[in-house]
């Protein structure tokens, strides 16, 4: 069974506080996810000082300041922060992961030894960024929020041009609205991505709750990414559309259950656990009246009753017209040794 990779997106929900970041790691460990992911950026390389916040950021933070630059400046993780968080993840037995948002960040994470890269939705049209990722020659997970199929195809062409094979690339269906309205999820598009681009697929979720990522796994997602927080009421751009620790744990349990439920060979046969119930739940042919030796059986003499450990009612016609070789009483279970 191929295990679904579950990435718990701490993102910037640490609010610039390294102790909150560590508590997020603790929550991710407790939930049983595979990776806890942060974000690696310098505001000066990411956004102009005149850039305004997205609507959802202004609503979720509600601090009266419309500057995206100031918001992001307060959420940067320093080099020392990265080393401390990586060390703490190692100590807690969970995989550290982070997303870079510029070429410098890509090279930085590569130098830190990350084993694969995550391309966020906003960078899928960033040619220098895509080139830098591809040149690292490591597996890539690419989110596709705000994308058309043409956008995805163009990004793939860059990644392949600079050295990645399709087998090294996983594509996550995604919607970049926080939270994403259910009517805009379009989860079936994930299957269209798989069919068109022939890559491994997954889903990066920004809806409220845990239903959609669970459904994505049932549809074949092999990677799930979901934002989480310690408290949805904390100030910050992503807390509202994130799971709290107990919800994250519930999602992981549900995904692991769906993994098991979809791990069969695809052939319809009785399972090991249900075989013992066949005789109990099914019926076999019984007699519905007292009958004497030599009686020729008719439809009116027979009745299907549990248990099902005798002659199957599917063999009804094989019994009709046969003679009893001994007297039988009402509700006796019939066997082929009783007739000739």
Residue 34 is predicted with a pLDDT of 98
User: In the sheet where 117-119 sits, what is the strand order?
Assistant: 95-100, 35-40, 5-11, 223-227, 200-205, 169-174, 140-143, 117-119
Question: DSSP letter string over 98-114?
Answer: EEE-SHHHHHHHHHHT-
Select 5-261's CATH number: 3.30.420.60, 3.20.20.70, 3.40.50.920, 2.10.109.10: 3.20.20.70
Q: How far is it, in rounded angstroms, from Cα 229 to Cα 13? A: 6
Q: How far is it, in rounded angstroms, from Cα 74 to Cα 55? A: 19
Q: Is the pLDDT of residue 51 over 90?
A: no
* Average pLDDT over every residue of 68-94: 95
Kindly state the percentage of the chain with pLDDT values over 70: 99
At 303, give phi and psi (nearest 5°). -150, 135
* Average pLDDT over every residue of 132-151: 98
Task: Write down the mean pLDDT value for the chain.
Answer: 96
Q: How far is it, in rounded angstroms, from Cα 60 to Cα 53? A: 11
Answer yes or no: are the C-beta atoms of 229 and 243 closer than 8 Å.
yes
Q: Is the pLDDT of residue 199 over 80?
A: yes
Return the domain boundaries, the chain.
5-261, 275-338
Strand-pairing partners, residue 82, are none
Select 275-338's CATH number: 3.90.1210.10, 3.40.50.10890, 3.40.50.970, 3.30.300.340: 3.90.1210.10
Answer yes or no: are the C-beta atoms of 320 and 297 closer than 8 Å.
yes
Biggest alpha carbon distance in the chain?
Answer: 101
**Residues sharing a CB contact under 8 Å with residue 114, sequence separation 6 or more, in sequence order:** 97, 98, 138
**Beta-sheet strands, E only, within the chain:** 5-11, 35-40, 95-100, 117-119, 140-143, 169-174, 200-205, 223-227, 284-287, 302-305
Residue 177 is predicted with a pLDDT of 94
Question: DSSP letter string over 179-247?
Answer: SPPGGG--TTHHHHHHHHH-SEEEEEE-SSSSHHHHHHHHHT-SEEEEEB-S-TTSSSSSSTTSB-HHH
Residue 64 is predicted with a pLDDT of 67
Q: How far is it, in rounded angstroms, from Cα 317 to Cα 245? A: 61
Answer yes or no: are the C-beta atoms of 99 and 118 closer than 8 Å.
yes
Residue 55 is predicted with a pLDDT of 79
Distance of CA 184 to the CA centre of its chain: 18
Residue 206 is predicted with a pLDDT of 97
* Average pLDDT over every residue of 142-164: 98
User: Which of 68, 6, 16, 61 lies closest to 37 in space, CA to CA?
Assistant: 6
pTM of the model: 0.90
Q: Is the pLDDT of residue 66 over 80?
A: no
**307 preceded by a cis bond (ω within 30 of 0):** yes
Residue 197 is predicted with a pLDDT of 98
* Average pLDDT over every residue of 326-330: 98
Express each pLDDT in 108-140 by its tens digit.
Answer: 999 999 999 999 999 999 999 999 999 999 999
R_g over Cα of the chain? 30
Confidence at 1, pLDDT banded by 50, 70, 90:
low
Confidence at 71, pLDDT banded by 50, 70, 90:
confident
User: Which of 224, 252, 237, 256 lies closest to 9 in space, CA to CA?
Assistant: 224
Residue 31 is predicted with a pLDDT of 98
Express each pLDDT in 29-43 by its tens digit.
Answer: 999 999 999 999 998
Express each pLDDT in 295-323 by its tens digit.
Answer: 999 999 999 999 999 999 999 999 999 99
Confidence at 165, pLDDT banded by 50, 70, 90:
very high
Q: How far is it, in rounded angstroms, from Cα 31 to Cα 226? A: 12
First and final C-alpha spacing in the chain: 51
Express each pLDDT in 209-227 by its tens digit.
Answer: 999 999 999 999 999 999 9
């Amino acid at each position: 069974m191929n295990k679904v990779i579950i990435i718990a997106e701490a993102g910037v929900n640490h609010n610039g506080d390294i102790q909150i970041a560590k508590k997020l790691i603790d929550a991710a460990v407790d939930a049983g996810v595979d990776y806890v992911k942060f974000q690696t950026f310098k505001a000066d390389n990411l956004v102009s000082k005149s850039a305004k916040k997205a609507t959802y950021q202004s609503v979720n933070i509600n601090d009266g300041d419309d500057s995206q630059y100031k918001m992001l400046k307060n959420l940067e993780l320093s080099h020392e922060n990265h080393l401390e968080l990586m060390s703490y993840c190692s100590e807690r037995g969970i995989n550290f992961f982070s997303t870079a948002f510029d070429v410098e960040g890509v090279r930085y994470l590569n130098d830190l030894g990350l084993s694969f890269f995550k391309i966020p939705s906003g960078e899928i049209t960033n040619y220098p960024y895509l080139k830098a990722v591809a040149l690292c020659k490591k597996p890539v997970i690419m989110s596709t929020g705000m994308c058309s199929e043409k956008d995805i195809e163009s990004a793939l062409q860059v990644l392949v041009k600079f050295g990645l094979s399709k087998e090294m690339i996983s594509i996550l269906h995604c919607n970049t609205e926080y939270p994403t309205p259910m009517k805009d999820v379009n989860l079936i598009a994930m299957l269209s991505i798989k069919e068109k681009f022939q890559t491994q697929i997954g889903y990066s979720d920004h809806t409220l709750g845990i239903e959609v990522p669970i459904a994505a796994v049932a549809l074949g997602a092999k990677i799930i990414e979901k934002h989480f927080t310690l408290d949805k009421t904390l100030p910050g751009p992503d807390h509202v559309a994130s799971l709290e620790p107990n919800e994250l744990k519930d999602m992981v349990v549900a995904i692991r259950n769906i993994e098991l439920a979809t791990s069969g060979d695809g052939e319809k046969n009785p399972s090991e656990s249900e075989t013992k119930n066949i005789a109990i739940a099914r019926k076999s042919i019984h007699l519905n009246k007292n009958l004497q030796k030599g009686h020729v059986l008719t439809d009116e003499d027979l009745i299907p009753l549990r248990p099902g450990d005798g002659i199957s009612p599917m063999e009804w016609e094989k019994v009709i017209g046969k003679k009893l070789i001994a007297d039988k009483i009402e509700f006796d279970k019939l066997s082929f040794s009783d007739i000739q």
